[in-house]
């Protein structure tokens, strides 16, 4: 269990550090900025690379909503949900701390701004409402969970799940960065909101409830309509990890 939790912490650290780091340091860099498309790809690559690296150890969740959804789908033990979420939060917050230290070393910096945190209304990049944000986060997380369940199903081609999941997260960001700055991951939202502070912390509830609701509904749909028979593994990087 310790190895699984360390793997989840490392994977979530990498997701937050590289994904949010790309938004903080590279998205708007003069003349050479990577923009929304680059940030979207960065988030997808974090999941893809860590799913291969530590997926065979922990299943490669890196996301409380994914962990909860897998439990609802019967692919993961409920007794391990709490420890997994704790490890994911620890990894995400550690990554945000490192990002803060790096950002603080920029000459002339007076504020960290939004710190790549998630928000709605006036904190939304496109000024989208709370309802818009909730619907987007729930629907996108739901489809993300469906892709995870389908690509790790025993009927799927082995070894390709991280690619499908990484591309799915890239697509999700391409759709939703203007809406909420894209969460679909409560650990990622929490880590950045704690440093951004203020309204970002006040709005954090949405980025826990909407992704978890979306993942849970998707899990029930998959279990009822798409699943073949009970599964015995939960891995993203490998389908040989026991539940």
Parse the chain into domains and list their residue ranges.
Answer: 2-226
* pLDDT tens-digit series, residues 17-48: 999 999 999 998 988 899 999 999 999 999 99
Burial class of residue 225 (count of CB atoms within 10 Å of its CB; 0-12, 13-18, 19+): exposed
Residues present in the chain in total? 243
| Measured distance CA(67)–CA(77) in Å, rounded | 9
| pLDDT at 30 (0 to 100) | 85
**Considering only the top CATH level, what class is 2-226?**
mainly alpha
Provide φ and ψ at 28, rounded to 5°.
-110, 20
- Name the least confident of 21-25, 32-36, 88-92, 216-220: 32-36
Whether 74 contacts 81, CB under 8 Å: no
Q: How far apart are CA 202 and CA 223, in angstroms?
A: 34
Predicted TM-score (pTM) of the model is 0.92
Kindly report, residue by residue over 175-208, the tens digit of the pLDDT: 999 999 999 999 999 999 999 999 999 999 999 9
């Amino acid at each position: 269990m310790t190895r699984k939790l360390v793997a989840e912490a490392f994977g979530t650290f990498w997701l937050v550090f590289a994904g949010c780091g790309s938004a903080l340091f590279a998205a708007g860099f003069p003349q050479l900025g990577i923009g929304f498309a680059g940030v979207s790809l960065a988030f997808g690559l974090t999941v893809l690379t860590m799913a291969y690296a530590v997926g065979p150890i922990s299943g490669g969740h890196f996301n409380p909503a994914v962990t909860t959804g897998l439990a609802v789908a019967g692919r993961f033990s409920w007794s391990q949900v709490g420890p997994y979420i704790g490890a994911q939060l620890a990894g995400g917050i550690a990554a945000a701390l490192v990002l803060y230290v790096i950002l603080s070393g920029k000459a002339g910096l007076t504020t960290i701004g939004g710190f790549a945190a998630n928000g709605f209304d006036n904190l939304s990049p496109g000024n989208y409402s709370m309802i818009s944000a909730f619907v987007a986060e729930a629907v996108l997380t739901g489809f993300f969970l469906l892709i995870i369940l389908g690509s790790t199903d025993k009927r799927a081609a082995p070894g390709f799940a991280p690619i499908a999941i990484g591309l799915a997260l890239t697509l999700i960001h391409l759709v939703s960065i203007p809406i909420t700055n894209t969460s679909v991951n409560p650990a990622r939202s929490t880590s950045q909101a704690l440093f951004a502070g203020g309204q970002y912390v006040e709005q954090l509830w949405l980025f826990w409830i909407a992704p978890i609701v979306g993942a849970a509904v998707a899990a029930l749909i998959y279990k009822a309509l798409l699943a073949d028979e009970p599964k015995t593994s939960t891995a993203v990087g490998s389908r040989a990890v026991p539940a």
